[in-house]
Amino acid sequence: MSSKNSQLREKSPSESHAEVIVRMFPSDANPAGNVFGGEILKHIDMVAGIVAQRHSQSNAVTVSMDSVNFLKPVFVGNVLKLNARINYVHNSSMEIEVKAEAEDIVTGIRTLTGTAFVTFVALDKNGKPTHVPKLALKTDEDRTKFEEGKLRMEKRLKKRQK
């Protein structure tokens, strides 16, 4: 693996935090008329990728998506707000947590509609996994999420098929 972790500056989760807001159109719908889950997954992957690349400052690819929960439907016309933060890093891997909230723009009502964990791996210019900066854990939330992320990553890797 390229680049020594110790040479990289530690970065806090807030430095890479990302929020994406997108309007849902009829072209985003499933045959029943609500927003297609795959469309939401695309946005989850995209916002998580922004966080992973901000943190690693390198190319980063999705290796796993898990605990994807669609809690409530998202309707055509809703504004979908995706919030993403980095919870945990190991050598080249990063766990990103995404929360999706739908806003009815007329009533102003906002609903948590989905959650997911996405794992990215940072790659060097040769496409090989490369070290990412360690996380500077500044708040109690950062520390809790790091420990929870570590446990989830251990479980994830146990289930991993090569």
Ligand X SMILES: CC(C)(COP(=O)(O)OP(=O)(O)OC[C@H]1O[C@@H](n2cnc3c(N)ncnc32)[C@H](O)[C@@H]1OP(=O)(O)O)[C@@H](O)C(=O)NCCC(=O)NCCS
Per-residue binding letters, 80-99, with ligand X (x by CB under 6 A): ----------xxxx------
Report the C-alpha gap between 127 and 133 in whole angstroms.
Answer: 18
- Which element (helix H / strand E) includes 149? helix 140-159
Nearer to ligand X, 17 or 150 (CB): 150
Helices and strands (DSSP H and E) totals, the chain: 3, 5
Find the binder of ligand X among 54, 65, 129, 146 (CB under 6 A).
Answer: 129
Enter the DSSP assignment of 2.
B
CA distance 45 to 48: 5
Shortest distance (Å) from residue 126 CB to ligand X: 10
Q: How far apart are CA 145 and CA 86, in angstroms?
A: 9
What mask, x for binding ligand X by CB under 6 A, covers residues 10 to 49? ----------------------------------------
**List of residues contacting ligand X (CB under 6 A):** 61-64, 90-93, 119, 121, 129, 156-157, 160
